[in-house]
Amino acid sequence: MSTPTKEPRRILAPNPSPLTGAGTNSFLIGTDEVAVIDPGPDDPAHLAALVEAAEGTISHILVTHAHRDHSAGAATLSRMTGAPVLAFGDALSGRSAVMTRLAEGGLVGGGEGLDMQFRPDRLLRDGDLIEGPDWRLIALHTPGHCGGHLCFLWDDQLFCGDIVMGWSSTIISPPDGDLADYFRSLDRIAALSHRRLLPAHGEPVEHPMQRIEELAAHRRARTAQILAALRAAPDDAAGLARRIYDIPPHLLPAAARNVLAHLIALATLGAVRPAGEFTAQSRFEAL
């Protein structure tokens, strides 16, 4: 098998927003048989651009996770090309035991952008190999942003979806996102020592260790902010977000979900506790 091309073809989807940056990066690797990683939204012009950029036959459609900005175009592209769709599972697959228990107990909210219609043709598990004549990918289960999130190892580079981005930190919104899983995934990616990370939003991350350390430090600092705010006065996730974030009001709901992820992790560690039953609107106090 020949050495894979060092530069994938990157096609930017026309879905810019405060949460997607310039849009979703769809990547293509291979020549005669082409793998598409994250086909993006179900946008006819974007999907046509993927087919044109492939030049060869699209043989595999891989999805890092079932958010609409990554997976919604998969079924249409599959119909256009005959290629199977490969992913960890549907939008609810891979939730941690803690998040499953909270969801079953009535924790509501979350689900921002979940593609509830997504159904892959083939399920991938950690360590699974996917290959074509001139490329080879290894699936790595990296939950945290989403329970079923996968990265794909390609030679000494990693297609990392939304778990690491250079332009922004990752949204972690329970019960789909799990902060404890996120830290474990960051540690795993750091241990692999890749030369470059290829996120689904923004530019390639050329210094992975530095960026991972920045993201972990950002989360630890946010945890310290939340604890300090709770020591000053009990509050719920939305109230804490208003107190500690300096962002436009329309971004506060997403910030509140991030705060909730920290509160769940802190409650699991016994550092905070909710007043009464645990819900997205629970008021917390520091212990």
Distance (Å) of CA 138 to CA 124, 128, 157, 270: 10, 6, 11, 37
With a cut of 90, say whether residue 264 has pLDDT above it. yes
Sign of CA dihedral 118, 39, 172, 192: positive
Task: For residues 198 and 223, state if they share a domain.
Answer: no
Q: Parallel, antiparallel, or unpaired for β 129-132 and 284-286?
A: unpaired
Higher pLDDT, 105 or 61: 61
Question: What CATH number is attached to the domain comprising 252?
Answer: 1.10.10.10
Q: Is 211 part of a structural domain of the chain?
A: no
Task: For residues 250 and 199, state if they share a domain.
Answer: no
- pLDDT tens digit string along 122-132? 999 999 999 99
Q: Is the bond preceding 175 in cis, omega lying within 30 degrees of 0?
A: yes
d(CA 140, CA 212): 17
By C-alpha distance, which of 106, 46, 107, 113 is closest to 74? 46
Question: What CATH number is attached to the domain comprising 113?
Answer: 3.60.15.10
> How many degrees, rounded to 5, is the angle at CA 141 between CA 99 and CA 193?
125
- Which of 98-102, 186-190, 276-280 has the weakest average pLDDT? 276-280
Task: For residues 273 and 131, state if they share a domain.
Answer: no
- Residue length, the chain? 287
What's 104's DSSP letter? Answer: H
Task: For residues 55 and 86, state if they share a domain.
Answer: yes
- Which of 19-33, 92-106, 260-274 has the weakest average pLDDT? 92-106
Q: Is 1 part of a structural domain of the chain?
A: no
Angle between helices 208-232 and 252-269 (to 10 degrees): 80
With a cut of 80, say whether residue 64 has pLDDT above it. yes
Task: For residues 249 and 123, state if they share a domain.
Answer: no
Q: Parallel, antiparallel, or unpaired for β 150-154 and 33-37?
A: unpaired
Average pLDDT, integer, range 236-241: 95
With a cut of 90, say whether residue 108 has pLDDT above it. no
- Token readout for 234 is 């009990």
Higher pLDDT, 75 or 247: 75
Domain end, chosen from 205, 236, 264, is at 205
Q: Is 116 part of a structural domain of the chain?
A: yes
> How many degrees, rounded to 5, is the angle at CA 239 between CA 16 and CA 257?
40
**């506790």: which residue's tokens?**
273
The structural domain count of the chain equals 2
Task: For residues 105 and 247, state if they share a domain.
Answer: no
pLDDT at 153: 97
Structural domain span for residue 72: 9-205
pLDDT at 4: 43
Task: For residues 68 and 185, state if they share a domain.
Answer: yes
Instruction: Say if CB 262 and CB 179 are below 8 A apart.
Output: yes
Q: Is 3 part of a structural domain of the chain?
A: no
Q: Is 236 part of a structural domain of the chain?
A: yes
pLDDT at 109: 64
By C-alpha distance, which of 65, 140, 141, 147 is closest to 98? 147
- pLDDT tens digit string along 147-167? 999 999 999 999 999 999 999
Q: What is the pTM of this model?
A: 0.93
Q: Is 4 part of a structural domain of the chain?
A: no
Domain end, chosen from 170, 205, 240, is at 205
Q: Is 2 part of a structural domain of the chain?
A: no
Task: For residues 86 and 153, state if they share a domain.
Answer: yes
With a cut of 50, say whether residue 41 has pLDDT above it. yes
> How many degrees, rounded to 5, is the angle at CA 22 between CA 6 and CA 195?
25
